C-alpha cells in the first residue's frame, strides 16, 4: 500500500499516544531529530547532554531539556554472550557476557555529502582518527555529576574521548547510525566502529536468549533486512571508514556448543546470515572482524583448528572479499592481552591470554586461507586475577579500564587494541526476581547489586575509573 492510501487522519490519530509517552530511566528525551518523548518518568529529569542527546537522569536536574533542535532516538543495546571453553579434559569454562547500551539518533537534515566510502586496504586503523561512540560520551557526561570525588570525576571525564563501539543490537537502532556517521565525517580520515549483533535465535547457548528475531518467525529475512538497512545508512553517509565486529559469540558457539540443541538448530541460519552480512557490508567497504571468542573459549588447543576451519569456510562461502580483515577477540571480556603470569582461573590452558591465543590461532588461519589479523578488546582488562572461574563474565568485581585503544600493539598480527564494550553499561542484573536474571550475575566475583543488562551501572563505572591500568 502506498503511503498516499493511508488516510491522514489515521496518521494523526497515532501521534498523541506517542507524544504522551514518557521516557524511562536513563532514556533519551531529546536531541536533534528526536521524535520520541521529551519528558521523563516520575523522579527523573530530562537533562541536556549535547545537541544530539538529552537523557533522563535521576532527581531534579538543572539543565535544560531539549529546546533547540529536537531529534534523537532511544535504543537499547544488549549483548548476551555465552562462552564455553571446551577442554580436552573435563573442565569447562562458561563465559557469558552481556552488554547493553542505549543509543542516540540524529535525524539530520543537512545536505548529503558527496564523498565516497573509503576502500579497505590493509589495517583500517592505520593513520586514522577513531571517533568516540556518541551515546557512551553522553552516558559519561551524565555520570560525572554523580561522583563525590572530584579528582575521580576529572579522570572519568577523560573516558568520554576514548572510542568504543556502537552496538547495533536491534533493527530499531539502525537509523541512529546515519547521524553518527554524518557527525564522524566532519573529522578527516575518521573511523567509526560498530558491532553487528542481531542474529535470529541470538545467543543460542545463553541462559536467556534475548534476540529480537526468531528463525521460526521469518528471522533470516528480518536479519537480511536489518543488514540492508545498515548498508543503506552507510551508503547515504559516506566519507568514513566503518569497522565492524560481526556477531559476537555466534561462530564460537558453532565451534564448541553444537551439542546444545538450540545451537545446532540455529547453525544453518547463523551461517547464512553471517555470509549475507559479509557480502552486503563488503559493498560499502566495511572493514570486518568476525568475532572469535577469547582465549578461554576458542583458545583451548582442541578448539583452535575447528575454529580456523569454520572461519575460513564462512569467508569462502561469502566469496572471500578482502573487506574481511580478520578476527576480534575478548569482546566484552576481561582477559589480558599479555598476562605477566597465567591467571589461576585459566586452569592450565597454554593459551592463557589473548596474545598466546592469537599466536596459536594465526598459523592455522593462514593455512586455511583466512587473514590472520586481529583486534583485541581491552576495555575492562586493566586488572587481572579477579575471577573465580574463567567463564565468569558478569560485572566482575574490581575490574579496571585497560590499555587505551591504539595501533601500537606490539604484535604484527594485531591491527589495534580497541574498547568494544562501553565500560559502565551493566552486563546483567543480580536481582533474582528480575525477568532477565542470570545466576552468573550473583556469583561471588560479580559486583552487586547490579541493575538490568544495559542500564548504566554507576558504581561499576566508578570502579573501572579508579582501577584503570594504566591509570587515567
Ligand atoms: C558447550 O560446550 C562446552 C565445551 O566447549 C561444554 O562443556 C558444554 O557442555 C556445552 N554445552 C552444551 C549445552 O552443549
Ligand atoms: C533452548 O531455548 C529455549 C527457549 O529460549 C529454552 O527454554 C531452553 O532452555 C533452551 N535449551 C537449552 C538446552 O538451553
Ligand atoms: C527485583 O525485580 C523485581 C521484579 O522486576 C522488582 O519488583 C524488584 O523491585 C527488584 N528489586 C530490586 C532491589 O531492584
Binned at pLDDT 50, 70 and 90, residue 121 comes out as: confident
Answer yes or no: is the C-beta of 272 below 6 A from any ligand 3 atom.
no
Domain boundary among 40, 58, 76: 58
Q: Give the mean pLDDT of 209-234.
A: 94
Based on the fold, state whether residues 32 and 137 are members of the same structural domain.
Answer: no
Predicted pLDDT of residue 405: 98
pLDDT digits (tens, 9 = 90+) for 126-157: 999 999 999 899 999 999 999 999 999 999 99
Q: Give the mean pLDDT of 328-349.
A: 97
Tally the domains of the chain.
2
Based on the fold, state whether residues 43 and 191 are members of the same structural domain.
Answer: no
Predicted pLDDT of residue 103: 32
Nearest ligand by distance to the CA of 259? 1
Based on the fold, state whether residues 368 and 266 are members of the same structural domain.
Answer: yes
Based on the fold, state whether residues 134 and 49 are members of the same structural domain.
Answer: no
pLDDT digits (tens, 9 = 90+) for 66-106: 333 333 333 333 343 333 333 222 223 333 333 333 333 33
pLDDT digits (tens, 9 = 90+) for 167-198: 998 999 999 999 999 999 999 999 999 999 99
Predicted pLDDT of residue 454: 83
Based on the fold, state whether residues 410 and 298 are members of the same structural domain.
Answer: yes
Residue 434 domain-assigned?
A: yes
Residue 155 domain-assigned?
A: yes
> 456: annotated binding-site residue?
no
Query: Residue 345 above 70 pLDDT?
Result: yes
CATH number at residue 422: 3.20.20.40
Predicted pLDDT of residue 91: 28
Domain boundary among 58, 75, 99: 58
Based on the fold, state whether residues 309 and 410 are members of the same structural domain.
Answer: yes
Based on the fold, state whether residues 53 and 137 are members of the same structural domain.
Answer: no
Answer yes or no: is the C-beta of 209 below 6 A from any ligand 2 atom.
yes
Nearest ligand by distance to the CA of 208? 2
Q: Give the mean pLDDT of 283-310.
A: 98
- Bridge partners (DSSP) of residue 58 are 44
Of 461 and 37, the structure prediction assigns the larger pLDDT to 461
Gap from CA of 456 to ligand 3 centroid (Å): 16
> CA nearest 171: which of 214, 229, 210?
229
Closest residue by Cα to atom 12, ligand 3, is: 431
Gap from CA of 434 to ligand 3 centroid (Å): 6
Residue 88 domain-assigned?
A: no
Based on the fold, state whether residues 184 and 287 are members of the same structural domain.
Answer: yes
Rounded to the nearest integer, the mean pLDDT of the chain is 83
Identify the domain containing residue 154 by its residue range. 129-467
Residue 1 domain-assigned?
A: no
Predicted pLDDT of residue 34: 66
Based on the fold, state whether residues 165 and 270 are members of the same structural domain.
Answer: yes
pLDDT digits (tens, 9 = 90+) for 241-266: 999 999 999 999 999 999 999 999 99
Nearest ligand by distance to the CA of 452? 3
Q: Of the listed 203, 249, 343, 445, which one is catalytic?
A: 249
Nearest ligand 1 atom to alpha carbon 257: 1
Alpha carbon 17 to chain centroid, angstroms: 32
pLDDT digits (tens, 9 = 90+) for 405-440: 999 999 999 999 999 999 999 999 999 999 888 899
Query: Residue 208 above 80 pLDDT?
Result: no
**Residue bearing cell 552487586:** 448
Closest residue by Cα to atom 5, ligand 1, is: 86
| Alpha carbons within 13 A on the beta-carbon side of 136 | 29
Query: Residue 111 above 90 pLDDT?
Result: no
Gap from CA of 98 to ligand 2 centroid (Å): 17
Predicted pLDDT of residue 20: 45
Based on the fold, state whether residues 291 and 155 are members of the same structural domain.
Answer: yes
> 262: annotated binding-site residue?
no
Binned at pLDDT 50, 70 and 90, residue 26 comes out as: low
Predicted pLDDT of residue 106: 30
Based on the fold, state whether residues 293 and 379 are members of the same structural domain.
Answer: yes
Q: Residue 205 has which C-alpha cell?
A: 547457548
Q: Of the listed 203, 349, 427, 447, which one is catalytic?
A: 427
Of 198 and 38, the structure prediction assigns the larger pLDDT to 198
Query: Residue 33 above 70 pLDDT?
Result: no
3-state secondary structure the chain: CCHHHCCHHHHHHHHHHHHHCCECCCCEEECEECCCCCCECCCEEEEEEECCEEEEEECCCCCCCCCCCCECCCCCEEEECCEEECCCCCCCEEECCEEEECCCCCCCCCCCCCCCCCCCCCCCCCCCEECCCHHHHHHHHHHHHHCCCHHHHHHHHHHCCCCCCEEECCHHHHHHHHHHHHHHCCCCCEEEEEEECCCCCCCCCCCCCCCCCCHHHCHHHHHHHHHHHHHHHHHHCCCCEEEEEECCCHHHHHHHCCCCHHHHHHHHHHHHHHHHHHHHHHHCCCEEEEECCCCCCCCCHHHHHHHHHHHHHHHHHCCCCCCEEEEEECCCCCCCCCCCCCCHHHCCCCCCCHHHHHHHHHHHHHHHCCCCCEEEECCCCCCCCCCCCCCCCCCECCCCCCCCCECCCCCCCEEEEECCCCECECCCCCCCCCCCCCHHHHCCCECCCCCCCCCECHHHHHHHHHCCCCCC
Binned at pLDDT 50, 70 and 90, residue 59 comes out as: low
Nearest ligand 2 atom to alpha carbon 205: 14
Residue 51 domain-assigned?
A: yes
Residue 307 domain-assigned?
A: yes
Gap from CA of 248 to ligand 1 centroid (Å): 17
Query: Residue 35 above 90 pLDDT?
Result: no
Predicted pLDDT of residue 52: 55
Q: Give the mean pLDDT of 14-38.
A: 63
Based on the fold, state whether residues 37 and 173 are members of the same structural domain.
Answer: no
Answer yes or no: is the C-beta of 407 below 6 A from any ligand 2 atom.
no
Instruction: Identify whether 343 is a catalytic site residue.
Output: no
Gap from CA of 428 to ligand 3 centroid (Å): 13
Answer yes or no: is the C-beta of 160 below 6 A from any ligand 2 atom.
no
Q: Give the mean pLDDT of 291-315.
A: 98
Of 342 and 47, the structure prediction assigns the larger pLDDT to 342
Instruction: Identify whether 377 is a catalytic site residue.
Output: no
Amino acid at each position: 500500500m502506498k503511503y498516499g492510501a493511508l488516510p491522514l487522519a489515521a496518521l494523526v490519530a497515532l501521534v498523541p499516544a506517542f507524544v504522551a509517552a514518557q521516557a524511562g530511566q536513563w532514556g533519551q528525551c531529546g536531541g536533534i531529530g528526536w521524535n520520541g518523548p521529551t519528558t521523563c518518568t516520575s523522579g527523573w529529569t530530562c537533562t541536556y547532554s549535547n545537541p544530539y542527546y538529552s537523557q533522563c537522569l535521576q532527581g531534579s536536574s538543572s539543565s535544560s531539556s531539549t529546546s533547540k533542535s529536537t531529534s534523537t532516538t532511544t535504543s537499547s543495546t544488549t549483548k548476551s554472550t555465552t562462552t564455553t571453553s571446551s577442554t580436552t579434559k573435563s573442565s569447562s569454562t562458561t563465559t557469558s557476557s552481556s552488554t547493553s547500551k542505549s543509543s542516540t539518533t540524529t535525524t539530520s537534515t543537512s545536505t548529503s555529502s558527496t564523498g565516497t566510502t573509503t576502500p579497505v586496504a590493509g589495517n583500517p586503523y592505520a593513520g586514522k582518527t577513531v571517533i568516540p561512540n556518541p551515546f557512551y560520551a553522553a552516558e559519561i557526561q551524565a555520570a560525572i555529576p554523580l561522583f563525590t570525588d572530584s579528582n575521580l570525576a576529572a579522570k572519568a571525564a577523560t573516558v568520554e574521548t576514548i572510542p568504543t563501539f556502537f552496538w547495533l543490537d536491534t533493527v530499531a537502532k539502525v537509523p541512529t547510525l546515519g547521524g553518527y556517521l554524518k557527525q564522524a565525517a566532519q573529522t578527516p580520515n575518521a573511523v567509526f566502529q560498530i558491532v553487528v549483533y542481531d542474529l535470529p535465535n541470538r545467543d543460542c547457548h545463553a541462559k536467556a536468549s534475548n534476540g529480537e528475531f526468531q528463525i521460526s518467525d521469518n528471522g533470516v529475512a528480518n536479519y537480511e533486512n536489518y543488514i540492508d538497512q545498515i548498508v543503506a545508512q552507510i551508503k547515504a553517509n559516506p566519507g568514513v571508514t566503518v569497522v565492524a565486529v560481526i556477531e559476537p559469540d555466534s561462530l564460537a558457539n558453532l565451534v564448541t556448543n553444537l551439542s546444545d540443541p538450540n545451537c545446532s538448530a540455529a547453525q544453518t541460519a547463523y551461517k547464512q546470515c553471517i555470509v549475507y552480512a559479509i557480502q552486503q557490508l563488503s559493498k560499502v567497504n566495511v572493514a570486518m572482524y568476525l568475532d572469535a571468542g577469547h582465549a578461554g573459549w576458542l583458545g583451548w588447543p582442541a578448539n583452535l583448528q575447528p575454529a580456523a576451519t569454520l572461519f575460513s569456510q564462512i569467508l569462502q562461502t561469502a566469496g572471500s572479499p578482502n573487506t574481511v580483515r580478520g578476527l576480534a577477540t575478548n569482546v566484552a571480556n576481561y582477559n589480558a592481552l599479555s598476562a605477566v603470569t597465567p591467571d589461576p582461573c585459566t586452569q592450565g590452558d597454554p593459551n592463557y591470554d589473548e596474545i598466546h591465543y592469537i599466536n596459536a590461532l594465526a598459523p592455522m588461519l593462514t593455512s586455511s586461507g583466512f587473514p590472520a589479523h586481529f583486534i583485541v578488546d581491552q576495555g575492562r582488562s586493566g586488572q587481572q586475577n579477579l575471577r573465580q572461574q574463567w567463564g565468569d563474565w558478569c560485572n566482575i568485581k574490581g575490574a579496571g579500564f585497560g590499555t587505551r585503544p591504539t595501533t601500537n600493539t606490539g604484535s604484527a598480527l594485531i591491527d589495534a587494541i580497541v574498547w568494544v564494550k562501553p565500560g559502565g553499561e551493566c552486563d546483567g542484573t543480580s536481582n533474582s526476581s528480575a525477568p532477565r536474571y542470570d545466576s552468573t550475575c550473583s556469583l561471588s566475583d560479580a559486583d552487586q547489586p547490579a541493575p538490568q543488562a544495559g542500564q548504566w551501572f554507576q558504581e561499576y563505572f566508578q570502579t573501572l575509573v579508579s582501577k584503570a591500568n594504566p591509570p587515567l
